[in-house]
Structure 1
Amino acid sequence: MKFSLGQYSNTTEAPEEPSWVTSETKRNLYLHVCKAFDRIKASMEAGENLSIKDRRIVARNIAKDSGVHDSLLNKRRQPELSELIVQKNAELEELWTSISATKYNPRIKRTKEVIQNEFRSQTAEIERLTNLRLSEALTAAIGNQMVDSHRSLVSTIEHLKTENAELQLRNSELSKQLRQMMKAVNAIKSS
């Protein structure tokens, strides 16, 4: 038997889990999504001719592989996982497009279904980028609002400190006057 490096494979490191993976079920689903992504990506890079269904991650298949009911993987119950599947499918679609662009296709027209899928993926990407920009703008606006309110609070505090010092000085002067008057009243009573 000859020795070759091709007989041995490097073990792939487990993907770093995002912060929303808080339970064993979510961890299991997340790992199955990553495995499906890696499997489909490897098939694409190997040059296999995959149908549209075979080159996408399907939530129902992930649920079946994980041993959970597929109703658990809807957007309402698992929004982070649904978003992850959308992102991974977008990456797979981009990879498929780039691999397809390098292949020679003699005047094959794109089908309506392919065009619709491209449109859906680009619409999802535009929506994701729009939401990202909106969140950045809102964060900046909130930051500016907080700086302005902080400045006004600082000036109010300085004004109140000055007023407090003046009132304390006035209070001490009135206390002195009161003591003097009490001494005078006591002196009148004793004489």
Structure 2
Amino acid sequence: MVIRLSDFKKETTQQAEELPSWVRTDTIKKLYLAAIDIHMKIKADIENKKDLSPRERQIAFRAVALKCNMSPSILHPRRQPELVHYIDELNQSLTHTLTSTQAKTHSSGRKLTKDELIKENRLLKEEISRLSNITLADSFNQAIENLLIQESRQAALNIKNLRQKIRELEEIISTQAEQNRRYMDLVSTKVDPS
């Protein structure tokens, strides 16, 4: 009797019927299913030892949103924290799969050739560059959000001050209109010979 490890392997993805509790709307459900679909495709490519760039080895939030014909801004930690966390977990799973696949490739104990080392070095440099770009992008996005929040607070304060000024001017106008009416009454009574 042959025993294989794959016979005991757990499925990492959930079936469509077994949606997590945080999948409440159709939009989140579409994004969730798209993330699983992309995860399975990337995982199959990794297991088939397809040569993928560091960017192609991970699930991009933008790719998930665009697959569902939605704006990429919908997948933001503030809007969909559970889904973003789930996609991060799927990305970790893909990293483990890649590590496992690479470990199987180099298990013979032989040293890598110069070309293989150069290729691995290039891939690692690309990964470092990608991660630093992601960090910079997150920093810039955070700075822009903070700036927008400050500007919106300032705009709200300006609106409040302008409304107060409008109320004061309306009171002045009504007071002057009342005085003008009195003066007109006074002038008309003096001019009227009756």
TM range (shorter): 0.5 to 0.7
The corresponding residue for 1:35 is 40
- Of 111, 135, 143 in structure 2, the residue corresponding to residue 137 of structure 1 is 143
Alpha-carbon deviation of 1:183? 2.1
Whole-Å separation in 2 of the counterparts to 1:152 and 1:54: 52
Whole-Å separation in 1 of the counterparts to 2:174 and 2:163: 16
Alpha-carbon deviation of 1:154? 1.3
Q: How does 1:137-156 map to 2 (within 5 A)?
A: 137-156=143-162
- Of 86, 101, 108 in structure 1, the residue corresponding to residue 111 of structure 2 is 108
Alpha-carbon deviation of 1:36? 1.9
Identity among equivalent pairs (%): 7
For these two proteins, the number of residue pairs brought into alignment is: 150
- The unaligned stretches of length 5 or more in structure 2 are 1-6, 73-87
Whole-Å separation in 2 of the counterparts to 1:18 and 1:163: 48
Q: Structure 1 residues 176, 98: closer, same or farther in 2, change over 3 A? A: farther
Q: Which amino acid aligns with 2:41?
A: A
Whole-Å separation in 1 of the counterparts to 2:131 and 2:97: 15
Q: Structure 1 residues 30, 149: closer, same or farther in 2, change over 3 A? A: closer
Give TM-score, length-normalised by structure 1.
Answer: 0.55
- Tell me the SS of whatever aligns to 1:12: coil
Q: How does 1:1-191 map to 2 (within 5 A)?
A: 12-14=14-16, 32-39=37-44, 43=47, 51=49, 53=51, 80=66, 92-93=94-95, 95-97=97-99, 106=109, 108-109=111-112, 111-186=117-192, 188=193, 190=194
Whole-Å separation in 1 of the counterparts to 2:55 and 2:111: 26
Whole-Å separation in 2 of the counterparts to 1:178 and 1:156: 32
Larger radius of gyration: 1
Q: Which amino acid aligns with 1:37?
A: I
Q: Structure 1 residues 52, 34: closer, same or farther in 2, change over 3 A? A: closer
User: Larger RCO: Structure 1 or Structure 2 (Cα < 8 Å, ≥ 6 residues apart)?
Assistant: 2
Q: Which amino acid aligns with 2:51?
A: K
CA RMSD of aligned residues (A): 4.7
